[in-house]
Amino acid sequence: MRRNILLLLALVFLIPIARGQGLVGDLLAGKLVNPKAGQWAWYNLTDARGGKKYVIRQAIVGEEKINRKQGYWVEFEVIPEVGFKMVYKMLLTGPANDPKNIHRVIEKSGVDPAREIAIDGTTPANTTPESKRRSLGLDEVSTMNGVIRAEHYEVTQGDQVIGVWINEKINPTGIVRMRSLDGEMVLRNHGTGGENAKSIITETPLPPDEPAPSAGPKPEIKAETKPNEAAAEEKAEEQQGATP
């Protein structure tokens, strides 16, 4: 599960992949698009290696000043077909491909208590070689909100090629679709406010090294009597209902 979370974060922020100038360069580097608290988007994520599927929510659930610099709490809710959901909440003051912009990370797995993750502030920014990108024109991508026109870019670094579809009106990251050898992420729906904009992590997180309270074994939860994919669809439809 953790490998797939890392896949998600890599896909969302393109951490080792792209740098550039202007709006497109900012988006490819993981910069938030005109960020405001309350922005959210739901995506379908497929892991190409294992074929596992997830429904994920990405939202700006709060704002906080860090040394007079505006920061944003960005939350990722990851719902697998089978098992417990994972939630990651990050306080960012800039693109996440630079560790200096990541000030706090909190994670919560299933019913376990939320926990702060230790951050190494001395980690240098990504220094991978310059990547190349080229526009392949506008494509139409079908979502639950209707068809969205997005600029299709091909990003190449060495022998790695990633397809990225961008529309700057899709907050908070501008991403409509992404595809690589590791997997694919496609926008379901997006909006502002409502239940989708609220943080799931409301308790005070445990410190990084504090042991969790003793508890009995937690059973694995499977999707009732419905096919797993149908259950995931139902969850996303409920979330769409929260759109203002």
What are the tens digits of pLDDT across the range 126-146?
555 567 889 999 999 999 889
| Strand pairing report for 69-80 and 86-92 | antiparallel
Mean residue pLDDT across the chain: 79
**What is the predicted pLDDT for the residue at 61?**
97
Higher per-residue pLDDT: 202 or 95: 202
Query: 162 by DSSP, 3-state: which?
Result: strand
Instruction: Please report which helix (H) or strand (E) contains residue 237, including its range.
Output: helix 228-240
Q: pLDDT (tens digit, 9 = 90+) per residue, 19-31?
A: 444 556 666 666 7
For residue 167, the number of C-alpha atoms closer than 13 Å in the C-beta half-sphere is: 17
Backbone φ, ψ for residue 138 (5° rounding)? -85, 135
- Whole-structure pTM value: 0.76
SS3 at position 22: helix
Rg of the chain over CA atoms, in angstroms? 18
Tell me what the mean pLDDT of segment 76-87 comes to.
90
pLDDT at 50: 80
In this structure, what token pair is assigned to residue 113? 């208590």
pLDDT at 6: 46
CA distance 9 to 23: 20
User: Of the spans 34-43, 214-223, 227-236, which averages the highest pLDDT?
Assistant: 34-43
CA distances from 50 to 4, 18, 70 (A): 10, 25, 39
Would you state the pLDDT for residue 116? 94
Strand, helix or coil for residue 222: coil
In degrees, rounded to 5, the angle at the alpha carbon of residue 33 between the alpha carbons of residues 109 and 129 is 80
* Higher local confidence (pLDDT), 198 or 127: 198
Q: What is the DSSP letter of 196?
A: G
Say yes or no to pLDDT of 196 above 70: yes
Instruction: Show the 3-state SS of 29-95.
Output: CCCCCCCCCCEEEEEEEEECCCCCEEEEEEEEEEEEEECCEEEEEEEEEEEECCCCCEEEEEEECCC
The residue ranges of DSSP E strands in the chain, in sequence order, are 39-47, 53-66, 69-80, 86-92, 102-109, 115-117, 132-143, 146-157, 160-166, 175-179, 183-192
Spatial contact of 96 and 102, defined as CB atoms under 8 Å apart = yes
